[in-house]
Amino acid sequence: LGETGLGKSTLMDSLFNTSFESTPSPHTLSAVKLKAHTYELQESNVRLKLTIVDTVGYGDQINKEDSYQAIVDYIDAQFEAYLQEELKIKRSLATYHDTRIHICLYFICPTGHGLKSLDLSCMKKLDNKVNIIPIIAKADTISKSELQKFKTKIISELSSNGVEIYQFPTDDEQVSEVNTDMNSHLPFAVIGSTDFVRVGNKMMRSRQYPWGTVQVENELHCDFVKLREMLIRTNMEDMREKTHCKHYELYRKKRLEQMGFTDVDSENKPFVSFQQSYEAKRSHHLQEIQQKEDEMRQMFVVRVKEKETELKEAEKELHAKFDKLRHDHSEEKRKLEESRKKLEDEIVEFNRRKTQFSQGSTSHHTLTLGKSKKK
């Protein structure tokens, strides 16, 4: 973890004496991205499954306030994946690929003036999630006297800001002395190189300058050998154990509390076992489910009653409309009957008058005809 251009990939190649796949990243990324690569390494009869996670674009943004958030989220995601595997009924932790981050090499820019605010804020956010080893990158750019002052200032700033870095364990008699000595050299000042230069009869990783050669594995030139010894050979298992027993347990405890599993019951009495906590949580959930069922049942009854009332009102309105329509229909029918009867009466009257008129016309014609004959 460190800003672009501090030689992170080169140092990884130097540490494991391997050429890992790496692509130079630009300084124009709008956000921090994490790239994880897993490698199968073997030296003699020792096999190592190594995962390297590179923070691409870290420190390149104008607003660096949340640069660490992507890193925090990634670490938490690995913890969550391990926790979900643990919570399975059929666990397979023996064959599970543990992707949790066991060590964070934090690369510090060799300014000689102290830590940047970004460095402090980021390490403060990470110190309870991962083992942090601060290292001064490109240590050949500052003199030895400046380097020692720089180291002292870094440790002082970390301490005053409450940042907890990884300390090599001193409780094991076999490594107590060497680890105590190595703790006094923190932060390690390192140099990485992919070039080999002949020194005597050996080809050594070195950086060639016009004024001389800096040997990566020469302890008089840098702390690369100290870092490699502490990281790979002496304390690798302790870092794994501390990750599991401290950082992961903190995350696990927090997540279980979010799920409702606590160390005490509702009366603040400690639980004897996880089973007891589980049973208490199960009982609580069943009560909540029963309560919700009762509420839903009551809600259902209320809704049914409301619907029944609504349907009755609608039925009443329909009956009222039907009665009105039936009354209107009867009224129209009555009017039509009256109109029909009136029309029939008029027809009868018309026919009667027509008959009378016809009879009157015939009589007049007969009378006229009789008079004509007499003449």
Pull the structure tokens for residue 141. Answer: 């750019």
CATH of the domain at 221: 3.40.50.300
Asked whether residue 281 is assigned to any structural domain, the reply reads yes
Judge if 242 and 296 occupy the same domain.
no
Asked whether residue 360 is assigned to any structural domain, the reply reads no
Judge if 291 and 201 occupy the same domain.
no
Judge if 61 and 182 occupy the same domain.
yes
Q: How many CB atoms lie within 10 A of CB 25?
A: 19
Judge if 50 and 199 occupy the same domain.
yes
Pull the structure tokens for residue 148. Answer: 């020692």
H, E, C per residue of the chain? CCCCCCCHHHHHHHHHCCCCCCCCCCCCCCCCEEEEEEEEEEECCEEEEEEEEEEECCCCCCCCCCCCHHHHHHHHHHHHHHHHHHCCCCCCCCCCCCCCCCCEEEEECCCCCCCCHHHHHHHHHHCCCCCEEEEECCHHHCCHHHHHHHHHHHHHHHHHCCCCCCCCCCCCHHHHHHHHHHHCCCCEECCCCCCEEEECCEEEEEEEECCEEEECCCCCCCCHHHHHHHHHHHCHHHHHHHHHHHHHHHHHHHHHHHHCCCCECCCCCECCCHHHHHHHHHHHHHHHHHHHHHHHHHHHHHHHHHHHHHHHHHHHHHHHHHHHHHHHHHHHHHHHHHHHHHHHHHHHHHHHHHHHHHHHHHHHHHHHHHHHHHC
pLDDT given at position 3: 86
pLDDT digits (tens, 9 = 90+) for 6-51: 888 888 888 888 888 777 776 677 788 888 888 888 877 878 888 9
Helix axes 144-160, 117-126, angle to 10 degrees: 50
Q: Domain residues for 19? A: 8-259
Residue 253: HSE in the Cβ half-sphere, 13 Å Cα cutoff: 10
Judge if 92 and 181 occupy the same domain.
yes
For 198, list phi and psi in degrees, rounded to 5.
-75, 125
Q: How many domains in the chain?
A: 2
Asked whether residue 252 is assigned to any structural domain, the reply reads yes
pLDDT digits (tens, 9 = 90+) for 208-265: 888 888 888 888 888 889 999 998 888 889 999 999 999 999 999 888 888 766 665 5
Q: What is the pTM of this model?
A: 0.69
Indicate if the pLDDT at residue 271 is higher than 60: no
Asked whether residue 267 is assigned to any structural domain, the reply reads no
Judge if 27 and 94 occupy the same domain.
yes
Judge if 166 and 283 occupy the same domain.
no
Asked whether residue 277 is assigned to any structural domain, the reply reads yes
How sure is the predictor about 194, in pLDDT bands with cuts at 50, 70 and 90? Answer: confident
Asked whether residue 303 is assigned to any structural domain, the reply reads yes
**pLDDT: is 366 or 23 the higher one?**
23
Asked whether residue 357 is assigned to any structural domain, the reply reads no
pLDDT digits (tens, 9 = 90+) for 72-118: 999 999 999 999 888 887 888 778 888 999 999 999 998 878 888 88
Judge if 230 and 313 occupy the same domain.
no
Judge if 282 and 172 occupy the same domain.
no
pLDDT given at position 136: 92
pLDDT digits (tens, 9 = 90+) for 105-131: 999 998 878 888 888 999 999 999 999
Pull the structure tokens for residue 343. Answer: 């029309």
Mean pLDDT of 325-335: 91
Judge if 122 and 249 occupy the same domain.
yes
Judge if 107 and 37 occupy the same domain.
yes
Tell me what the pLDDT averaged over the chain comes to. 85
Highest mean pLDDT among 46-55, 128-137, 251-260, 361-370: 128-137
In the chain, % of residues over pLDDT 90: 34
Asked whether residue 157 is assigned to any structural domain, the reply reads yes
Judge if 92 and 220 occupy the same domain.
yes
